[in-house]
Amino acid sequence: MGQPRFQPMLPINENYYTATSPIIRLAAGSIIAGLLISLNTTPMKTPQMTMPHHMKLSALIMTIMGLTLALELITMTNKSTKPSKIHTFSNLLMYFNTLIHRSLTLLNLKFSQNTATHLTDLIWYENIGPKWMTKSQTNPITTMSSQKGLIKIYLTSFLLSITMLLLT
């Protein structure tokens, strides 16, 4: 393939006055135009020029905290620290035997999974079985019990009217 015919990075040269002059004029013109527009337009509502003391103090406290944090970070880079030991007692996992640790964790997880599955099944069986039957039968039971009294009244009035008809 050979060598490329162009340089990998193009040289950037901003020393040409003809290239930078229009950009400078545009920036200066937009700054001056923005200043004139903002000075000549009156706001619809007079802005409140004061700030409550707690807001001023909180802004000042945040600025001081940021400054101290930045200074602390800067000084931390200058401090030379000793590299920590790679192999220590805590990171070699000598607290837990791997066989016991994994088996106890697995036993605990299986127990909780079985409990959750059992409770979910129990709730579904209750809601589909007996509780659903009671909920679905309450409306017909109330309708039947409320009409039971009316049927007695209708039957007695029917029998009374039939006996009166037969007697006359």
Per-residue pLDDT of 58-117, as tens digits, reads 999 999 999 999 999 888 877 777 776 777 766 666 666 666 677 888 899 999 999 999
What tokens appear for 107 in the block? 């036993």
Distance CA 131, CA 41 (A): 72
CB 35 within 8 A of CB 28: no
Q: What is the pLDDT of residue 141?
A: 80
Average pLDDT over residues 21-42: 93
Which single residue is written with the structure tokens 């909920």? 135
Which single residue is written with the structure tokens 């950009």? 23
Write out pLDDT tens, residues 122-133: 888 888 877 888
Q: What is the pLDDT of residue 65?
A: 97
Q: Over the chain, what is the mean pLDDT? A: 82
DSSP one-letter string for 33-99: HHHHHHHHSPPSSPPP----HHHHHHHHHHHHHHHHHHHHHHHHHHS--PPPPSS-TTTTT-SS-HH
Cα dihedral 71/77/82/85 (nearest 10): 100
Q: pLDDT > 70: what percent of the chain?
A: 82
What tokens appear for 144 in the block? 């039947």
Whether the pLDDT of residue 164 is over 80: the answer is: yes
Distance CA 45, CA 168 (A): 96
Average pLDDT over residues 20-34: 94
Give per-residue burial for 16-43: e unless 16+ CB within 10 Å, then b.
Answer: eeeeeeeeeeeeeeeeeeeeeeeeeeee
Q: What is the pLDDT of residue 17?
A: 77
